[in-house]
């Protein structure tokens, strides 16, 4: 790069911004180098910042990373291509997912075939031919029927005949998928099976809103005793964040899409501060890839700045937040390539194995601190806990 001084320098205040002067893209460029050198502006620039936030701030020092998944990611193959490598490398510590992503993950764990098609087909004809379409992904109707049957068969087992958190449910389900994968002679096909093997807790914020929940509900009409303990999920996820912070680690949220899982992963902080009355500052790092706009007021498009006002994100860390307006099917493979190239695998935290201890710790703290009556000091506590207001002096 030329070191020649500019004849038109920016004013001193902005002089720190580097010159935009990319090299031509060569034949052998790696995905990671492409991101660093050619994604320089607009949402390309945000994607580069996202990759660098992950590698430079979120992953170092064993920081805790919660990943939220919405949109039809596993049907597009992103479970196998991206999520499983990230999980195996210890780059994802806990997950909140839509049930749909976990349901469609089962097809891969059961070695069923999904096809890369086109969105420009006649859906009435597809219906007549028994073909299901998710935009340009196609598969036979029997994929659904056989996956449903697998879920119903598995949850008949004695270990499922009780009320449990969704993390425990997914862990047990993952165990059966892992066993099936072994029988089929395949590996690293399913997010659920990988989470089971790696001790990564997976929660879902709306357990009834997917084909997994639909099969659980149908079995409840028979004699199944399986119920979901959503209170445990709310407290367990808050417990994970409290555990991270109280052991001196950062807590980061990596949000793909938006929807209910976005809130579920973020609400852990207000649960700790506003509801439990425990002094905390908010998540440290916020990274979201989404297509949702902020101006509709919906949570999917809400910015990290708005999240600060709720206590969800630490105000001191707001400048580090990144929102990249792009399709996750473009962003996630690039981010996965980047972090796997730039960061050494981390030791798995296996948070699922410490599930009861993590829950017990936040419960104990809440019972010592929280009240039934209104918590009057929450905002003052939040203000004191952060250095906001001190900075501008
Ligand atoms: N068979 C099933 O089980 C099934 C199938 C589909 C949906 N569902 C259920 O419907 C609910 C909503 O599902 P959803 O998450 O697919 O839809 P959604 O449309 O609610 O998406 C959530 C958010 O993510 C954003 N988003 C979606 N795809 C994206 C992408 N590729 N890139 C960037 N942002 C993206 C959306 O704009 C939105 O803000 C879930 O509870 C799910 O379990 C179930």
Q: Quick: pLDDT tens for 286-305.
A: 999 999 999 999 999 999 99
Query: What is the CA(72)–ligand 1 centre distance, in A?
Result: 6
pLDDT band of 369, cuts 50, 70, 90:
confident
Q: How far, in Å, is the centroid of ligand 1 from the Cα of 88?
A: 25
Ligand 1 atom with least separation from CA of 205: 41
338: CB partners within 8 A, 6+ apart: 31, 32, 35, 51, 54, 55
Q: Is residue 228 part of a domain?
A: yes
pLDDT in tens, 233-286: 999 999 999 999 999 999 999 999 999 999 999 999 999 999 999 999 999 999
pLDDT at residue 96 in the model: 98
Q: What is the mean pLDDT of residues 175-196?
A: 98
Asked if the structure places residue 392 within a domain, the reply is no
Range(s) of the domain holding residue 36:
29-367
210 inside domain:
yes
Query: Quick one: tokens of 29?
Result: 């460029």
Which residues, at least 6 apart from 80, have a Cβ–Cβ distance to it below 8 Å? Answer: 108, 188, 189
Q: Is 315's pLDDT higher than 80?
A: yes
Query: Per-residue pLDDT averaged across 82-88, rounded?
Result: 98
pLDDT at 177: 98
Sign of CA dihedral 333, 95, 324, 300: positive
> What local confidence, expressed as pLDDT, does residue 232 receive?
98
Predicted local confidence at residue 388, as pLDDT: 40
Residues 290 and 258 sit within 8 Å (Cβ to Cβ): yes
**Count of domains observed in the chain:** 1
Q: Which residue is listed with tokens 């809130």?
A: 263
**Domain contains 19:** no
pLDDT of residue 152 exceeding 70: yes
175 is annotated as an active-site residue? no
CA 91, CA 190: separation in Å to the nearest integer?
Answer: 17
For residue 83 the two structure tokens come to 């999520």
DSSP state, 275?
Answer: I
Instruction: Round to whole Å and give the CA distance between 349 and 367.
Output: 27
> How would residue 393 be classed by pLDDT, with cut points 50, 70 and 90?
very low
Nearest alpha carbon, ligand 1 atom 19? 71
Classify residue 246: in a domain, yes or no.
yes
CA dist list (Å): 93 to 66, 69, 286: 6, 14, 15
Whether 376 is covered by a domain: the verdict is: no
Atom of ligand 1 nearest to the CA of 103: 3
What's the CA-to-centroid distance between 71 and ligand 1, angstroms? 3
CB contact set of 214 (below 8 Å; sequence gap of 6+): 148, 208
Best residue among 69, 71, 150 to mutate for probing ligand 1's pocket (most ligand atoms within 8 Å of CB) is 71
pLDDT of residue 40: 97
CA of 133 to the centre of ligand 1 (A): 15
The β-bridge partners of 115 are 138
Looking at residue 101, which CATH number applies to its domain?
Answer: 3.40.910.10
pLDDT at 381 over 60: no
- pLDDT of 379: 57
Mutate to test the pocket of ligand 1, among 100, 204, 206, 298 (most ligand atoms within 8 A of CB): 100
Q: Does 303 map to a domain?
A: yes
* Structure token pair of residue 341: 């190239």
Mean pLDDT throughout 143-162?
98
What is the per-residue DSSP string for 146-205?
Answer: HHHHHHHHHTTSGGGSSEE-HHHHHHHHHHHHHHHHHHHT--S--HHHHHHHHT--EE-S
Give residue 5's pLDDT: 86
The pLDDT score that the predictor gives to residue 384 is 45
**Ligand 1: lining residues by beta carbon, under 6 Å:** 70-72, 98-100, 103, 206, 209-211, 257-259, 289-292, 300, 327-329
| Choice among 57, 312, 317, 349 that is catalytic | 312
Compute the mean pLDDT over every residue in the chain, rounded to the nearest whole number. 94
Tokens 């399913």 belong to which residue? 190
Ligand 1 site-directed mutation target among 50, 67, 70, most atoms within 8 Å of CB:
70
User: Does position 389 have pLDDT exceeding 70, yes or no?
Assistant: no
Query: How far does the centroid of ligand 1 lie from the alpha carbon of residue 136, in Å?
Result: 15
**Pairwise CA distance, residues 268 & 234, whole Å:** 7
Buried b (16+ CB within 10 A) or exposed e, 76-96: bebbbebbbbbbbbbbbbbbb
Q: What pLDDT was estimated at residue 54?
A: 98
Of ligand 1's listed atoms, the one at least distance from the Cα of 298 is: 39
Q: What is the mean pLDDT of residues 45-74?
A: 98
- Going from the Cα of 70 to the center of ligand 1, the distance in angstroms, rounded, reads 5
**Measuring from atom 26 of ligand 1, which residue has the nearest CA?**
257
Q: Using CA atoms of 358, 364, 369, 374 in order, give the dihedral in degrees to the nearest 10.
A: 80
Q: How far is CA 109 from CA 142, 186, 214, in A?
A: 15, 8, 19
Judged on CB neighbours under 10 Å (0-12, 13-18, 19+), 191 is: buried
Is residue 4 domain-resident? no
Q: What is the mean pLDDT of residues 208-218?
A: 98
| Mean local confidence (pLDDT), 33-42 | 97
Taking 80 as the threshold, does the pLDDT of residue 92 lie above it? Answer: yes
């Amino acid at each position: 790069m030329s070191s020649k001084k500019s004849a038109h320098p920016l004013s001193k205040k902005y002089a720190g911004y580097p010159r935009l002067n990319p090299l031509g893209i060569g034949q052998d460029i790696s995905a990671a180098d492409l991101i660093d050198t050619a994604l320089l502006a607009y949402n390309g620039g945000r994607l580069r910042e996202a990759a660098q936030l992950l590698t430079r701030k979120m992953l170092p020092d064993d920081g805790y990373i919660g990943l939220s998944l919405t949109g039809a990611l596993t049907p597009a193959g992103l479970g196998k291509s991206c999520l499983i490598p990230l999980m195996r490398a210890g780059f994802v510590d806990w997950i909140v997912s839509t049930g749909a992503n976990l349901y469609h993950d089962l097809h891969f764990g059961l070695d069923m075939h999904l096809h890369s098609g086109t969105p420009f087909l006649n859906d009435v004809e597809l219906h007549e031919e028994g073909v299901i379409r998710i935009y340009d992904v196609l598969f036979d109707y029997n994929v659904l029927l056989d996956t449903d049957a697998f879920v119903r068969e598995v949850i008949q087992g004695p270990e499922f005949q009780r009320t449990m958190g969704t993390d425990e449910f997914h862990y047990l389900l993952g165990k059966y998928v892992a066993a099936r994968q072994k029988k089929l002679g395949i590996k690293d096909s399913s997010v659920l099976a990988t989470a089971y093997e790696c001790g990564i807790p997976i929660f879902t914020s709306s357990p009834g809103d997917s084909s997994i929940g639909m099969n659980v509900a149908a079995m409840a009409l028979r004699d199944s005793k399986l119920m979901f303990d959503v209170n445990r999920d709310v407290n367990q996820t808050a417990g994970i964040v409290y555990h991270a912070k109280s052991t001196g680690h950062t807590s980061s949220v990596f949000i793909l899409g938006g929807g209910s899982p976005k809130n579920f992963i973020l609400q852990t902080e207000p649960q700790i501060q506003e509801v439990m009355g425990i002094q905390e500052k908010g998540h440290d790092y916020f990274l979201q890839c989404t297509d949702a706009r902020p101006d509709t007021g919906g949570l999917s498009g809400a910015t990290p700045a708005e999240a600060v006002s709720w206590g969800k994100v630490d105000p001191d860390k707001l400048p580090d937040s990144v929102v990249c307006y792009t399709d996750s099917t473009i962003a996630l493979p690039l981010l996965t390539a980047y972090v796997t190239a730039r960061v050494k695998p981390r030791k798995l935290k296996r948070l699922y194995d410490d599930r009861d201890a993590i829950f017990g710790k936040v419960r104990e703290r809440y019972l010592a601190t929280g009240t039934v009556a209104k918590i009057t000091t929450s905002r003052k506590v939040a203000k004191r806990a952060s250095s906001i207001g001190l900075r501008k002096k």
